[in-house]
């Protein structure tokens, strides 16, 4: 009936203006009819009255309605000044306007802009339109659009979304999206639910959930404010002034804010008042020159206050006196008490679970740091632990391995392939470097550990500078293959990046390799023989020189592979070796020299320790390292030979 009348009226208008640019068939489109029905409010464009128009469009369920809302929001809706018919318009050259149909969007033609008037919805209206659009998006046949809509609500939830969301859940077919919608609906209910009971129900439905979004929804509900009054209101919990919850200063500040007490006079304010009252070299009769101490200034100020030239000084005594007149208590500001309490219970529960999860996450972090230290230290465990040779250039071998990886990536663009090539190549390069160093330097210094330490320092300094000269001082990238990107997420708190998992696995592989080589191969047998008694081994036909050379090469080679792994995880710089060398030595020493299990335990201890200290003081990793080193120094007091103490030549070195 209504639409009939409208149509009639519009037809009538059209007939009157035959010259009007818009064709008659426009009027029949259902969306145009809805627009015409609410034509007045739409043209009036007021946030207060526009509601029914948008609702009608949204409720129509028309595809065209969605387009209309969108373009209206984008300020692309115009109407014919004469006929009042709504069209889409795009500015064209020379003050012209390209006009399109609101139903279907077919072009109508280019006309003079003056014949049309643009709808300019203000931000309030645009917000309403956006909410209405959400409903269309939530029901869009394309799941991607639906997901985008859900994400946008998650980002910026609003009470207006709640109805649309609820409506869209039933028709949702994708189970994953249904779950997300339902979760979002409950989150929105917590925030905007119509009754306290529903909100509490929604809160309780999240039992066991740790989501950040849930905490974001709950936290505002439990916000409190401390208030002061002469009498404690019924049921409010009094706070003691001077306790941890409420310091004397904070309590007085509350009184000042509530204008229940005069503000304190700051030392700056006091000074300004004195300055303002300087009169002929004196303040209240006191010489300015003598006002170089707080006591003198206080007494001058008191004199001013006495004379009524300044407000009285608020002293500690007056503060105490004032505070005694008031009671302080907390009130919930975010939600009604029952909801707030339910939220508090839920939050407490979450906090406990979060603490557990954080511990688990910390353990994972510690484990991954431990595997990095283990990787860095295992080569050292061989050269220092097995042979008793201290190699201060070990860190530079790690660096060499990392740079090998970097150079390989320059030639082999495929990241997976380049890593596959880089690992054996890094081993080869550092093996060669290790053998060369053993031949040229270390062989001459066996049994002179301090000399070895110094000579390898020299090598370390030279190698570091050499790397600087070749590769420059800036960090070089060593990119991990794509399949190592991202992380394994267990819940909102526990997650670990794949690259760390890979490093952990690599550490395990190295451990297995070491055990295999040392215990199951001829080389290992000979190494152990040479370690225990070189002369005896020599008399049995083992060439100790060769074995020492190979062992040193093996240890250095492993450092090279570790370098590739560390390079993937951290940055490749000429100083990366020195970043790890002290920790590596600590790992070996703490674990107990000459025993791979000791190194493993040492790495675990150092890794977990560092993570725990960082957790206690998360802002400051430098301090964490400081405290860890101090702890290790103390630890060595109690177990000078490390966790697993060995007797023998290596332990005596």
User: Applying CB under 8 A, does 409 fall inside the site for another protein?
Assistant: no
From 57-65, 221-229, 233-241, 443-451, give the range in contact with another protein by CB under 8 A: 443-451
Tokens of 222: 């439990």
User: Applying CB under 8 A, does 435 fall inside the site for another protein?
Assistant: no
User: Applying CB under 8 A, does 451 fall inside the site for another protein?
Assistant: yes
Helices and strands: H and E segment counts in the chain: 27, 12
Instruction: List the one residue from 48, 114, 155, 447 that touches another protein (CB under 8 A).
Output: 447
Q: Phi, psi at residue 412, to the nearest 5°?
A: -110, 105
CA separation for the pair 503, 487 (Å, rounded): 13
CB 328 within 8 A of CB 241: yes
What are the start-end ranges of the H helices in 381-492? 394-411, 415-440, 449-471
**592 Rama class: left (phi>0) / alpha (psi -120 to 50) / beta:** left
Tell me the number of residues near another protein by CB under 8 A. Answer: 62
User: Applying CB under 8 A, does 280 fall inside the site for another protein?
Assistant: no
Query: How many angstroms from the chain centroid is the CA of residue 499?
Result: 18
Assign 90 to helix, strand or coil: strand
Instruction: List the one residue from 125, 455, 502, 601 that touches another protein (CB under 8 A).
Output: 455
Dihedral angle of Cα 352, 353, 357, 359, to the nearest 10 degrees: 20
CB-wise, 312 or 449, nearer to another protein?
449
CB 274 within 8 A of CB 301: yes
CB-wise, 420 or 441, nearer to another protein?
441
Distant-in-sequence, close-in-space partners of 155: CB < 8 Å, separation ≥ 6: none
User: Applying CB under 8 A, does 191 fall inside the site for another protein?
Assistant: no
Whole-angstrom CA distances from 411 to 406, 407, 429, 436, 476 are 9, 7, 17, 26, 15
Which string of x and - marks every residue 330-369 that binds another protein (by CB under 8 A)? ----------------------------------------
Instruction: List the one residue from 469, 495, 519, 543 that touches another protein (CB under 8 A).
Output: 469
User: Applying CB under 8 A, does 461 fall inside the site for another protein?
Assistant: yes
CB-wise, 176 or 623, nearer to another protein?
623
From 32-40, 197-205, 337-345, 450-458, give the range in contact with another protein by CB under 8 A: 450-458
CA separation for the pair 401, 379 (Å, rounded): 12
CB-wise, 33 or 391, nearer to another protein?
391
In the complex, minimum distance from the CB of residue 51 to another protein, in angstroms, rounded to a whole number: 51
From 10-18, 39-47, 292-300, 598-606, give the range in contact with another protein by CB under 8 A: 292-300
Q: Which of residues 545-584 bind another protein (CB under 8 A)?
A: 578, 582
User: Applying CB under 8 A, does 612 fall inside the site for another protein?
Assistant: no
CB 379 within 8 A of CB 449: no
Q: Which residues bind another protein (CB under 8 A)?
A: 267, 271, 274-275, 278, 288-294, 297, 390, 441, 444-445, 447-455, 457-466, 468-469, 578, 582, 585-586, 589, 620, 622-623, 625-626, 629-630, 632-634, 636-638, 640, 647-649, 652-653
């Amino acid at each position: 009936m209504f639409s009939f009348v409208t149509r009639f009226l519009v037809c009538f208008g059209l007939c009157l203006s035959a010259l009007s640019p818009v064709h008659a068939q426009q009027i029949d489109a259902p969306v145009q009819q809805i627009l015409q029905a609410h034509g007045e409010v739409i043209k009036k464009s007021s946030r207060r009255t526009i509601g029914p128009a948008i609702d009608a469009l949204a409720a129509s369920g028309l595809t065209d309605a969605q387009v209309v809302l969108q373009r209206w929001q984008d300020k692309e809706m115009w109407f014919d000044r004469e006929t009042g018919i709504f069209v889409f318009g795009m500015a064209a050259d020379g003050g012209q306007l390209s006009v399109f149909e609101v139903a279907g969007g077919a072009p109508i033609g280019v006309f003079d802009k003056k014949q049309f008037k643009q709808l300019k919805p203000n931000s309030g209206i645009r917000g309403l339109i956006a909410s209405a659009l959400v409903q269309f998006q939530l029901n869009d046949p394309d799941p991607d659009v639906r997901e985008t809509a859900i994400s946008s609500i998650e980002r910026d939830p609003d009470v207006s979304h709640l109805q649309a969301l609820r409506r869209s859940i039933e028709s949702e077919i994708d189970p994953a999206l249904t779950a997300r919608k339902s979760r979002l609906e409950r989150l929105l209910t917590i925030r905007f639910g119509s009754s306290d009971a529903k909100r509490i129900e929604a809160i309780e439905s999240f039992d066991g959930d740790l989501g950040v979004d849930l905490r974001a929804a709950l936290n505002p509900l439990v916000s409190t404010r401390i208030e002061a009054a002469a009498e404690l209101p019924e049921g409010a919990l009094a706070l003691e002034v001077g306790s941890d919850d409420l310091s004397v200063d904070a309590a007085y500040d509350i009184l000042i804010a509530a204008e229940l007490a005069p503000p304190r006079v700051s030392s700056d304010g006091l000074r300004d008042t004195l300055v303002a009252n300087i009169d002929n070299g004196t303040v209240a009769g006191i010489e300015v020159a003598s006002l170089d101490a707080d006591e003198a200034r206080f007494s001058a100020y008191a004199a001013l206050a006495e004379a009524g030239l300044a407000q009285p000084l608020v002293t500690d005594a007056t503060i105490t006196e004032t505070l005694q007149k008031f009671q302080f208590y907390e009130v919930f500001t975010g939600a009604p008490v029952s909801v707030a309490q339910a939220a508090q219970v839920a939050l407490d529960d979450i906090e406990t679970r979060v603490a557990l999860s954080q511990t688990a996450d910390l353990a994972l972090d510690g484990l991954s740091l431990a595997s990095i230290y283990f990787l860095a230290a295992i080569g050292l465990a061989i050269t220092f632990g097995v042979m008793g040779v201290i190699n201060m250039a070990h860190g530079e071998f790690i660096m060499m391995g990392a740079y090998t990886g970097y150079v390989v990536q320059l030639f082999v663009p495929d990241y997976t392939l380049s890593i596959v090539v880089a690992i054996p190549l890094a081993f080869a390069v550092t093996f060669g470097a290790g053998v060369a160093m053993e031949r040229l330097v270390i062989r001459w210094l066996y049994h002179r550990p301090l000399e070895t330490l110094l000579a390898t320092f020299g090598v370390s300094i030279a190698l570091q500078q050499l790397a600087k000269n070749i590769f420059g001082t800036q960090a070089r990238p060593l990119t991990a293959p794509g399949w190592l990107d991202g992380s394994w997420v267990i819940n909102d708190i526990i997650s670990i990046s794949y690259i760390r998992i890979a490093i952990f696995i690599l550490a395990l592989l190295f451990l297995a390799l070491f055990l295999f080589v040392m215990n199951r191969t001829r080389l290992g047998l000979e190494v152990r023989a040479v370690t225990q008694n070189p002369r005896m081994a020599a008399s049995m036909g083992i060439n100790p020189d060769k074995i020492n050379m190979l062992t040193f090469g093996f240890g250095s080679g492993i450092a090279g592979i570790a370098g590739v792994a560390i390079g993937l995880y951290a940055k490749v710089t000429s100083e990366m070796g020195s970043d790890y060398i002290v920790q590596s030595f600590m790992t070996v020493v703490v674990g107990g020299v000459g025993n791979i299990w000791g190194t493993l335990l040492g790495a675990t201890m150092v890794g977990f320790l560092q993570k725990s200290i960082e957790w206690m003081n998360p802002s400051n990793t430098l301090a964490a390292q400081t405290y860890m080193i101090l702890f290790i120094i103390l630890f060595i007091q109690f177990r000078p030979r490390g966790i697993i103490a060995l007797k023998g030549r290596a332990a005596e070195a």
